[in-house]
Structure 1
Amino acid sequence: MIGMGNPRGIAGRPLRVLFLVENAPVPGDRRVWNEALTLAQVGFQVSIVCPKWGYPGFYEERQGIRIYRVPLPSLGGIAGHLVEYLIATPVLFLYTALIFLRDGFDVIHAANPPDFLFTIGRVFKWLGKKFVFDQHDVVPEACASRWSGIRMRLTYAIASWTEHASYRTADIVIVPNESVRRLAVERGGIDPARAFVVRNAIGLAHFRDAQPRAELRRGRRHLVFYAGVIGPDDGLDQLMLAARHIVAKRGRQDIHFAVLGDGDCAPQVKQMSQRLGLGDVVEFTGWVKDDRLIADYLATADVCVVPDPKTPVNDLCSMNKMVEYMAMGKPVVAFDLKEAQETGGGAALYVTADGHAGPEAFGDGILELLSSPGMRESMGRIGRQRFNEFLAWEHQQASLLRAYQTLLGYPSVLVA
């Protein structure tokens, strides 16, 4: 793989990178954790500040990476998000200042959302530090997808301003796909030579030794599987409507649905499941931190789903869950999102999102795959090949390190 030659600074000490993450704990955020591990493996000294959510301690050193976990709120709605960010930004600034005084750093690597972290970057750029804007999400499009009327116009204006300020502050920009890179170049005015695609991915050996487990089907013939966030953009309401269509209108009682994950909309989705009479059909496990159990669910699943509806933000998103499904050679049903099709290629059945008919078509897509073992096998094979040859983290590391070579001016070298 491509590495970096001797990433060292003054007096021969390792160059130091501080990751700032507001909306997910690490290593739960696999993208940030993969990036941090890759940089540490080539010689950087890496620290991370992130929320404490779900983790017992406030500090941990794991695989040579220092992780500072901060007690931050997680609030929903427009007012809740603003309050959360107004609390989180000064708290993260305080931690950044303390780490600067204690350990020092040369680079701040800020992962969005939110796009408010440029304020911290600007302060430390005055002290000669570099700032990386790692744009996980396109927040203006998220606002346009979630709200309407005056709320949409207000949030879109704020998000557009903070995104633009993040671009202007950044020394380099890292994005998850070519669609977002085009936005950074065309809307953000970023020099194409400073915008790098690093796709969301897992390693080739991440889900090793997985075994199908019949008990995960809960006595039914088939298992339909979802793993990921249960938020306003993730389409779990669409999945519930599709499940009701399968059970009530198509009369199928032999399919179990497993939903691994959590998020702001989880309580409402669980209530919806009960209201639709799906209490014994859909299983909600919450977050599962045991990768072996996730792998066993994937090995057992007959069909995996990406129910994210067609919206401006989802069209631009590269879904972590889709890559994980493909890594395990599983066929996928998804709506016809631009980036889902770019990621999945022939590994998925894409359903046209057509208003109220969308969930029914999605349910029929699931049934079509369940009725065709040959189609499932072919899609799974295509997905696994795309993962092995293009999508796996091992293929993303080179782009990340090229980004840091550009940032710091180090030449490329070939290492084992």
Structure 2
Amino acid sequence: MPGKRALILVENLSVPFDRRVWQECTTLRDAGWEVHVICPQGTKRDTEPEVVMDGVHIHRYPLRAATGGPAGYLQEYGSALWHTWQLARRLGHFDVVHACNPPDLLFLVARMLKRRGTKFVFDQHDLVPELYLSRFDRGKDLLYQAVCAAERATYKTADVVIATNESYRDIALTRGGKRPEDVFVVRSAPAVERFQQVPPEPELKQGKEHLLCYLGVMGPQDGVDYALRALAALRDEQGRTDWHAVFVGSGDTFDQMVELSRKLDLAGLVEFTGRIPDEDLVRYLSTADVCLSPDPLNPLNDVSTMNKIMEYMAMAKPIVSFELREARVSAGEAALYAPANDVSAFAKLVAELMDDPERRAKMGLLGQSRVEGPLAWRNSAKALLSAYTTALG
């Protein structure tokens, strides 16, 4: 739709670091849209306040990430809302405002823009009520009730909802009360140009026979603690020390996870890299024998699509995961599944794959074919453009 203007609102990550949002931006750009993004500034990258990148206009504001409990997030979200509204008001009229959660508060900006005739597309990256329960372990308290109210208001305000998988779509239809024709599944898919294999580097294994790899965020709900305990079980219960494990990524619990590895006496077997450039990430994944997806079963993880699983499959790597509904939908036979939250069973499956290179290779190719076929971004791009067409009526 040439000449149309879209405004994408993001609070959780900077752009283009948020790969899903960047894919949406470039898809819309290629379809003739003038695309603007409002997002926070990064700390080491994406630091310019304003930039035009590959034809996408990016407007960034300073934001201090929350630390501690819910009070810190309320402060963060309040600051983000104020900056987002000020920038949106300055940028003029848009045909579509596209808000990516969390948090479920950007509908407040969308509601004000709708008074000017703008249509609202809600891109539900996370189920925030389930995220609250899984992250803070406070039960269904008053703040949880407020989180649910914000989600209801977001659904009500939205003209169209974008869901990341069928589980999220079902929730939009039931809990959100949306019509089936107004909810579209736009699955996250790895940027295949980012994940191109390079020759393995045996030195990354630190003298061991096998390299195990974790890639992703390290937050309370992400299961890095489960992965570390599974590795301790791999050593103590399976009697295996012929491996080196690398954890790539960062997050709220990074320092706690480093300390836990020391307590479990894994310091000589485990390496934490923090966030690293793409070229280094590809080196580790190209060398890895088994990739870890230790997200535990909780209200959020069971129905969420894990980006790490998609990225492992793009690199043709076998995966060990806990039994989660959407993990199985994504990975299929490219993963082995341990009973939920059972670190001993997880360790046993890792050992099985370490001992079976033919099975590892077969699983890796199955995963890669899924990412290049039914789970490829080109399919999600079509759904995204259909969602915009529906929003415009």
Equivalent in the alignment of 1:266: 254
Task: Check the 8 A contact 1:207/1:292 in 2, yes or no.
Answer: no
Q: 3-state DSSP class of the match of 1:391?
A: coil
Equivalent in the alignment of 1:412: none
Q: 1:302 aligns with which of 279, 284, 289?
A: 289
Equivalent in the alignment of 2:382: 398
Matched-pair identity in %: 44
Kindly state the Cα deviation for residue 336 of structure 1 after the two structures are TM-superposed.
Answer: 0.3
Equivalent in the alignment of 1:291: 278
Equivalent in the alignment of 1:97: 89
Equivalent in the alignment of 2:155: 167
Equivalent in the alignment of 1:132: 121
Q: 3-state DSSP class of the match of 2:373?
A: helix
Q: TM-score if structure 1 supplies the norm length?
A: 0.91
Unmatched runs of 5 consecutive residues or more in structure 2: none
Equivalent in the alignment of 1:361: 345
Q: TM-score if structure 2 supplies the norm length?
A: 0.96
Residue 366 of structure 2 corresponds to residue 379 of structure 1: no
Distance in 1 between the 2:206 and 2:54 partners?
A: 37
| Stretch moving more, 181-190 or 155-164 | 155-164
Equivalent in the alignment of 1:414: none
Matches within 5 A, 1:106-255: 106-149=95-138, 152-255=140-243
Task: Check the 8 A contact 1:238/1:359 in 2, yes or no.
Answer: yes
How many residue pairs were aligned? 390
Shift in alpha-carbon separation, 1:115–1:400, aligned structure 2, 3 A: same
Q: 3-state DSSP class of the match of 2:75?
A: helix
Equivalent in the alignment of 2:72: 80
| Stretch moving more, 109-118 or 63-72 | 63-72
Give the partner amino acid of 2:338.
Answer: V
Residue 38 of structure 2 corresponds to residue 49 of structure 1: yes
Q: 3-state DSSP class of the match of 1:226?
A: strand
Q: 2:9 aligns with which of 7, 20, 23?
A: 20
Residue 321 of structure 2 corresponds to residue 334 of structure 1: yes
Distance in 2 between the 1:155 and 1:199 partners?
A: 30
| Stretch moving more, 393-402 or 140-149 | 140-149
Higher relative contact order (CA 8 A, sep 6+): 1
Distance in 2 between the 1:254 and 1:207 partners?
A: 27
Equivalent in the alignment of 2:335: 348
Distance in 2 between the 1:275 and 1:125 partners?
A: 53
Distance in 1 between the 2:198 and 2:353 partners?
A: 22
Kindly state the Cα deviation for residue 236 of structure 1 after the two structures are TM-superposed.
Answer: 0.4
User: Which string of whole-angstrom CA distances, capped at 9 and with x for unpartnered residues, describes residues 36-58 of structure 1?
Assistant: 01000111011111111222322
Distance in 2 between the 1:173 and 1:69 partners?
A: 25
User: Which string of whole-angstrom CA distances, capped at 9 and with x for unpartnered residues, describes residues 10-62 of structure 1?
Assistant: xxxx1111111101111111110000010001110111111112223222211
Equivalent in the alignment of 2:18: 29
Q: 3-state DSSP class of the match of 2:374?
A: helix
Give the partner amino acid of 2:104.
Answer: D
User: Which string of whole-angstrom CA distances, capped at 9 and with x for unpartnered residues, describes residues 65-109 of structure 1?
Assistant: 111121112113211111211221112111111222xxx422111
Aligned-pair Cα RMSD in Å? 1.4
Kindly state the Cα deviation for residue 209 of structure 1 after the two structures are TM-superposed.
Answer: 4.9
Distance in 2 between the 1:147 and 1:72 partners?
A: 22
